[in-house]
């Protein structure tokens, strides 16, 4: 169903990485609906084309929305992505959201080193490069405010007995890095916040869980609400963090998890 624009991000140029799927697509849609000009970035061009078509279908009134192929683990790609918004007037918001959880990620014994490196190259270095080039852009365009939102995870906050060690370590790094960036750049007006989603109903996790009922149950039993989260519930939080409504919110581990990380025992 088509929705009318609301304008909470009017006048802002935003970049979303991992924009072709899950949280990134839902956020791109909400950003466009709220009046932002949006650059949707992803490693997959065919998926980006589909995502753009969906956005235009649900937000027919969207302003400027474009796509760009970008592998966030390659600094040259990230630099080109951010600099491509120079002609738009410079980046105001970047959502460094692209991330992977590899099927071969395991525990301390069984995680292959190449999976560790791949995961960290995308999940950690990708966020660093996005943050770095956002700061350079904000300075280049002499902006006195900017919002950078980096996707971490609840596994950066609580230990999981179902191991994905490389992924967990990478999300801990996102949290720590974002916190430091928030403090270093606070006097420039550049805000950095982490988003910590709970397990979600998106391809990243659902494809990985597949039809394995015990593997699913192993997670569901810990959800106070009894369900996986939805990407749109993350996107709503990202709009807040991107907008000036959150002007005094900086350096937070912004947790959107239905109460999961605060539960001792879950309701029956």
Instruction: Name 117's Cβ contacts closer than 8 Å, sequence gap at least 6.
Output: none
Binding track, positions 117-136, relative to ligand NAD; x by CB under 6 A: -----x--------------
Residues in the chain: 268
Residue 268 CA, distance from chain mean position: 32
- Window 66-125: residues binding ligand NAD (CB under 6 A): 70-73, 97-101, 122
- CB 152 → ligand NAD: shortest distance, Å? 7
Residue 136's contacts (CB-CB under 8 Å, 6 or more residues apart) are 82
Judged by CB under 6 A, which stretch of 40-48, 138-146, 213-221, 258-266 contacts ligand NAD?
40-48
Q: Which two three-digit tokens encode residue 220? A: 């569901």
H or E stretch at 38: strand 37-42
Q: Residue 248 Cβ, how far from ligand NAD at the closest point, in Å?
A: 25
- Number of other CB atoms surrounding residue 108 within 10 Å: 7
For residue 214, count other CB atoms closer than 10 A to its CB.
Answer: 6
Name which position in 102, 199, 237, 258 contacts ligand NAD (CB under 6 A): 199
- Does residue 153 belong to the site contacting ligand NAD (CB under 6 A)? yes
Residues designated as active site: 167
Q: How far is the CB of 174 from ligand NAD (least distance, A)?
A: 8
Q: Which is nearer to ligand NAD, 5 or 172 (CB)?
A: 172
How many helices (DSSP H) and strands (DSSP E) are in the chain? 9, 7
202 binds ligand NAD (CB under 6 A): yes
Q: Is 258 in the site for ligand NAD (CB under 6 A)?
A: no
Structural contact between residues 254 and 194, judged by C-beta atoms closer than 8 angstroms: yes
Task: Name residue, tokens 């015990």.
Answer: 214
The stretches of 95-141 forming alpha helices (DSSP H) are 113-120, 126-140
Question: Which residues in 156-195 contact ligand NAD (CB under 6 A)?
Answer: none
CA distance 20 to 189: 29
Choose which of 18, 90, 130, 258 interacts with ligand NAD (CB under 6 A): 18
* Contact flag: residue 235 with ligand NAD (CB under 6 A): no
What's the closest the beta carbon of residue 167 comes to ligand NAD, in angstroms?
7
| Least distance from ligand NAD to the Cβ atom of residue 59, Å | 19
- Helices 22-33 & 231-242 angle (0-180, nearest 10): 50
Nearest in space to 3 (alpha carbons), one of 34, 24, 28, 48: 34
Contact pick of 28, 37, 91, 151 for ligand NAD (by CB under 6 A): 151
Q: How many residues make contact with ligand NAD (CB under 6 A)?
A: 31
43 binds ligand NAD per the rule CB under 6 A: yes
Which residues are near ligand NAD by CB under 6 A? 17-18, 20-24, 42-44, 47, 70-73, 97-101, 122, 151, 153, 197, 199-200, 202-205, 231
């Amino acid at each position: 169903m088509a929705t009318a624009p609301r304008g909470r991000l009017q006048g802002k140029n935003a970049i979303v990485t991992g924009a072709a799927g899950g949280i990134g697509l839902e956020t791109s849609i909400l950003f466009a609906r709220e009046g932002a000009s949006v650059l949707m970035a992803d490693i997959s061009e065919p998926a980006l084309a589909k995502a753009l078509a969906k956005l235009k279908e649900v937000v027919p009134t969207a302003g400027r929305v474009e796509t760009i192929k970008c592998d966030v683990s390659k600094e040259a790609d990230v630099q080109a992505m951010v600099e491509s918004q120079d002609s738009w007037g410079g980046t105001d918001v970047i959502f460094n959201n692209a991330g992977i959880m590899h099927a071969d990620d395991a525990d301390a014994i069984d995680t292959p080193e190449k999976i560790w490196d791949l995961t960290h190259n995308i999940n950690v270095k990708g966020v660093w490069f996005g943050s770095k080039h956002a700061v350079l852009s904000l300075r280049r365009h002499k902006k006195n405010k900017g919002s950078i939102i980096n996707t971490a995870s609840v596994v950066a906050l609580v230990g999981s007995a179902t191991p994905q060690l490389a992924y967990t370590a990478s999300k801990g790094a996102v949290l720590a890095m974002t916190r430091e960036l928030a403090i270093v750049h606070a006097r420039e007006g550049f805000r950095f916040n982490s988003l910590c989603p709970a397990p979600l109903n998106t391809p990243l996790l659902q494809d990985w869980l597949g039809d394995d009922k015990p593997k699913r149950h192993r997670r569901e039993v810990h959800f106070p609400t009894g369900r996986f989260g939805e990407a749109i519930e993350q996107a709503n939080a990202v709009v807040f963090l991107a907008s000036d409504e959150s002007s005094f919110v900086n350096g937070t581990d912004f947790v959107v998890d239905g109460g999961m990380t605060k539960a001792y025992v879950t309701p029956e």
